[in-house]
Amino acid sequence: MDKQIIFEDDHIRAIYLQGTTDTLVLSFGDLITRAKGLSINAEKSLMKYDYSVVGIMPKQKSWFPASSMLALLEQLQPILKQFKKIVGYGGSMGGYAAIKYSKPLQMTRVVAMVPQYSIDPNEVEDKRYTDFYDATLNADMRIQAHDIVADCEYIIVYDPYFENDKEHYLKIKPLIPQLHTLHLPYTGHDAIAVLANSALLHDFIEYPYDQTYFYKQIRDVKKNSKFYYRSVIAHLLGTHNEALGKILKGIDLQLDSTFLDANLKQTITRILLTNKRVDEQDLQKLGIQVNLAFEEKTQLQDCFGNIIVFNVITQKLESYSQQVIDVNGKYIIPLNVEHSGLVEIEVKKQTYLICMNDRRVTKLFKREDALSMDMNPIVIKKCTDFYVLSYKNLYMRCDASGNCYFDAESVQDTEKFTVV
């Protein structure tokens, strides 16, 4: 199928993909899917059903300024006249544009995932996108009642528990009397990724609105979405930690090793280690590979009574209670501490140095191996009544939650450690 650029300026690029359907889809990109060549937002799913599509792709983080959209409208009119059914689809910034420009673009249905009401800092409390606000480009940008088409269907999908997106939804809702709302709890701003499914997008475009039907389709998509489980895990941790165990035991989940970012992986493994015995199946489901089995050695205690360990799963220095170490000693290894020198741990008679770089990436090196130029060993210093750990000129401190940081320039109680 041939694609052609039908409009372009400094802020947007519009690409026309002619299909065979009686429906025209106006697919708006977002901050992630900005203009790149002839790519169109949700292109693979739309091409699967041979839709005629105009991909309206942002080139800047400028929220589809009205000047650009009105200029596009002039070029788009001959195409719009060919279709009786015109559906706008987009998420976040694209969801905003689909609603905002539904009237001039003659839409008959709008499907907006987690849309913004505005990014003007004087109009919203949400500060995620206010740095992109330009008073010249975005003046009077908020969605208003006169933007709404009376006989157009509007569907918004959002997480009612995510306050930032909820604020925008609550400002948009009174403006659209015929609004249909679909909730996607505990997914934050990730609705677009969670619901990325060709059949569901086809339903959003074509199927008569039936809330029961759409929720059933959404449930089916969620069950097979890795993005959904990642979002749920990220948003429930700390308040509903038992949900993680239920997900791990009840879902056939298999994430790759890069799917969870380092901070989320650390939080998850801390909860697993603190609340239950970690097993290989749990770790494999989360895409966490563990290749070393460590032995328990000497122990260094922080000011909260926890033991300093190297966590094989997160590859970080942390602190845990002795009870947790006793249960999960295969994964969290107390340091070898005898005197001043380099921080070491021992694995099956093999000694490893714990090294770090300025980006706080921690790695293990065999004692006899060469270090890469960016890596430096962590040093332990024995003082009269305590020990300190340091990286270059910074001392390590521990907080009550067991997190360790090399950010202290002087030694206080949180930087002092004792041998048990």
- Residue 295 in domain: no
Tokens of 355: 């090294």
**Domain end (from 202, 229, 256):** 229
H helix runs in 237-374, sequence order: 242-250, 262-275, 280-285, 322-328
Would you say 316 and 362 are in contact if contact means Cβ atoms under 8 Å apart?
A: yes
pLDDT digits (tens, 9 = 90+) for 370-408: 999 999 999 999 999 999 999 999 999 999 999 999 999
Claim to verify: residue 60 and residue 110 sit in the same structural domain: yes
CATH classification of the domain holding 393: 2.80.10
Q: Which of 229, 256, 272 is the last residue of a domain?
A: 229
User: Which SS3 state, helix, strand or coil, does residue 314 take?
Assistant: coil
Total domains present in the chain: 3
In 251-393, alpha helices (H): 262-275, 280-285, 322-328
Residues in the chain: 420
Contacting residues for 78 by C-beta, under 8 A, at least 6 apart: none
Q: What is the pLDDT of residues 249-265, one digit of tens each?
A: 555 666 666 666 677 77
Q: Indicate the DSSP class of residue 69.
A: H
pLDDT at 192: 87
79 and 213 co-located in one domain? yes
52 with 108, same domain? yes
Q: Helix count (H) and strand count (E) of the chain? A: 12, 22
Same domain, 167 and 279: no
Give residue 151's domain range. Answer: 3-229
For residue 191, the model assigns a pLDDT of 87
Q: Give pTM, 2 decimals.
A: 0.65
Q: Would you write out the chain's pLDDT as a tens digit for each of its 420 residues?
A: 689 999 999 999 999 999 999 999 999 999 988 889 999 999 999 999 999 999 999 999 999 999 999 999 999 999 999 999 999 999 999 999 999 999 999 999 999 999 999 999 999 999 999 999 999 999 999 999 999 999 999 999 999 999 999 999 999 999 999 999 999 998 889 888 889 899 999 999 999 999 999 999 999 998 777 777 777 776 666 666 666 666 655 556 666 666 666 777 777 777 777 765 566 666 766 666 665 444 445 689 999 999 999 998 889 999 999 889 888 877 888 987 878 999 998 877 788 999 999 989 999 999 889 999 999 999 999 999 999 999 999 999 999 999 999 999 999 999 999 988
Query: Is 367 inside any structural domain?
Result: yes
Based on the fold, state whether residues 163 and 218 are members of the same structural domain: yes
Is 90 found in the same domain as 11?
A: yes
Q: Count CB-CB contacts under 10 A for residue 369.
A: 10
Give the tens place of pLDDT for each residue, 10-67: 999 999 999 999 999 999 999 988 889 999 999 999 999 999 999 999 999 999 999 9
- For residue 247 the two structure tokens come to 């997900």
Looking at the structure, tell me whether residues 52 and 183 fall in a common domain. yes
107 assigned to some structural domain: yes
Instruction: Please check whether residue 309 lies inside any domain of the structure.
Output: yes
